[in-house]
Amino acid sequence: MATLSKTLNLRPFVVVGDSNGRVGLGVKCAKEVATAIRGAIILAKLSIVPVRRGYWGNKNGQPHTVPSLVPAPWGSEIVAARVPQKVLPSAGIDDVFTSSRGSTKVE
């Protein structure tokens, strides 16, 4: 009788940034930990994009969800959920409040 074993695939999510307004995100799936992390770092470095700061558009129409970063007083750090607290410092953003207006439900 053959025994069946499940193979575990690891999927790390990696964030890289230069703390000066550029950040990259990468995800890689592999059976070995080191291979998955190394591949995710490579993909994150290839997908670096600039993070826009400030106001860059006009308010035409009615958007469904409006995420926003509100400047905070000096020394208050990042007031946000766990994931934005890890991503925003790699983009060089500190002392900020986060908020969202509208529907954020995911279906």
For the chain, the structural domain boundaries read: 9-52, 65-107
Residue 65's pLDDT is 54
The larger pLDDT score, comparing residue 64 to residue 82, is at 82
Give the number of other CB atoms < 10 A from CB of residue 88. Answer: 21
What average pLDDT does the segment 69-87 reach?
81
CA 34 to chain centre: 21
For domain 9-52, the question of CATH label 2.40.50.1040 is answered with no
Global pTM value: 0.67
pLDDT in tens, 14-36: 999 998 889 999 999 999 999 99
| More confident site: 68 or 46 | 46
Q: E strands along 5-95, which residues?
A: 13-17, 22-27, 49-50, 65-71, 78-79
Separation in Å, CA 86 to CA 9, 73, 95: 24, 19, 13
